[in-house]
Structure 1
């Protein structure tokens, strides 16, 4: 795909984001679109947020890592994208839906905060652990600019991995003190139990997922940077949310995270 078409599609996704509307799947319109093309479309879209809106990149995310999420979306390999400072909310935040989100879904995750730079290729789980300052509970609110979530892997990568916003729990802990694959997360919606999952739902180990992301972005020359937050993927199925919903999660031994949609 040539640079002009990449820029056109990146601009189209940026306008959809700002206008709160969806687009027909890119894969329906561009039969030969590759994941490499999709990444460059995403980078163009994110650069518009930085250049036009003054947002700063503060982290990265991996998504579609667990089988329940893959089955739900019909996408069977992870996606990856960028986090900006305009996406983050504090624990117990009120998150506006109108004018901010289009078709949001909540997912419970483990977030990593880095203390040193990390760049693939060749990043291992131990490298990730050594580079991590802390982990914390997190809700990622994914949102798609693609009609009715009818996405293939190229659609979600181009759409900045269906990034919406995210909420970080207040309690940060040292990951070396925990058995990450066996961390249990429980999620409640509107005060009622909804679902639960283990850290092993994310590629067997959240460290494996973060290493995959570091190596995948490394192929594009993109590093993880000290101080960045890395979202490691959902431990349970995605949960559609609308204004009026309240979400809460708890990770055994670590703490919780909550948000309300208004």
Structure 2
């Protein structure tokens, strides 16, 4: 696919996000779009946001569950970029411009040193992590009715919306990230439960995958980066005015309210 077509698709996604509108799947026009082309589309919009004064503060990892990988016919996760404009703290009212939002319970990693691939493993991730904390990712899609294939979600910044971080942090050496259990409630009713091991067996393994993937693209995870390691349950749609709470037991909790 040529540069002009790539730029055209990037502009479609950018305008849809800005105008709170939806578009047809990109794969309805290019069914065999490669992951490389999709990441190229994502990067064009990353560069546009950087040019508009936003700042990358980390990355999100998606497609970390085997059922989702099977559904989309892939054997690895995908990733998107996190920006300053997406960042909320526990208790905030979410006024981020969203189209068809869903919420996911996750563990966030905060790095204390660079994590440069290739050949990064779980122990490298643990050594490079300052702490972990509960997070709610509010995912969104600029593709109508979430009718996405792999290339669609990659091009759309891995279906990102915004994210909310807990005020409680735990040093990585004191956090059992695989057995930590999560309970997510919406308006007081349990919506989903899960555990850290739902993220490809270990959330740190997802972060290792990200470090190695970025290395293959000429990028390095940096000290201070926020990494959303992947959902421990399926995503749940939310409506204006909904209150969402997530408890990760001893690791803390995080709350948000969708703007009415």
Scaled by the length of structure 1, the TM-score of the pair is 0.95
> Given the alignment, which residue of 181, 186, 189 partners 1:184?
181
Q: What corresponds to 2:62 in structure 1?
A: 63
Q: Does 1:161 align with 2:158?
A: yes
Q: Where do 5+ consecutive residues of structure 1 fail to align?
A: none
Aligned to 2:94: 95
Cα offset, 1:254, TM superposition: 1.1
Please give the alpha-carbon distance, in whole angstroms, between the structure 2 residues aligned to 1:69 and 1:170: 30
CA contact (8 A) 1:69 1:238 kept: no
Distance apart, 1:180 and its partner CA: 1.3
Counterpart for residue 226 of structure 2: 229
Hey, what does 2:31 align to over in structure 1?
31
* Contact persistence 2:132–2:175 (CA under 8 A): no
Instruction: Please give the alpha-carbon distance, in whole angstroms, between the structure 2 residues aligned to 1:86 and 1:67.
Output: 31
Question: 1:1-262, aligned counterparts within 5 Å?
Answer: 1-51=1-51, 53-67=52-66, 69=68, 74=72, 76=74, 77-96=76-95, 100-262=97-259
Aligned equivalents of 1:83 and 1:7: distance in 2? 21
Give the Cα–Cα distance (whole angstroms) in 2 for the partners of residues 70 and 243 of structure 1: 30
Shift of 1:243: 0.3
Give the C-alpha shift of residue 86 in structure 1: 0.2
**Structure 2 residue ranges without an equivalent (≥5):** none
Q: CA deviation at 1:90?
A: 1.0
Q: In 1, are the aligned partners of 2:175 and 2:251 still within 8 Å (CA)?
A: no
CA contact (8 A) 1:68 1:237 kept: no
Deviation for aligned residue 1:75: 6.0
Q: Secondary structure at the match of 2:182?
A: strand
Once the 2 structures are TM-superposed, how far is the Cα of residue 74 of structure 1 from its aligned partner?
Answer: 4.6
Distance across 2 between alignment mates of 1:158 and 1:84: 16
Q: Distance in 2 between matches of 1:181 and 1:225?
A: 24
* Aligned Cα root-mean-square deviation (Å): 1.4
1:120–1:218: 8 Å Cα contact kept in structure 2? yes
Cα displacement (A) at 1:10? 1.1
Confirm or deny: 8 A CA contact 1:75 1:151 kept in the other structure: no
Alpha-carbon offset, residue 32 of structure 1 = 3.0
* Separation of aligned partners in 1, 2:213 and 2:146: 24
2:117 and 2:36 mapped to 1: Cα distance?
17
Number of corresponding residues = 258
Deviation at 1:159, TM superposition (A): 0.4
For 1:219 and 1:173, locate their aligned partners in 2 and report how far apart those are by CA, in whole Å: 30
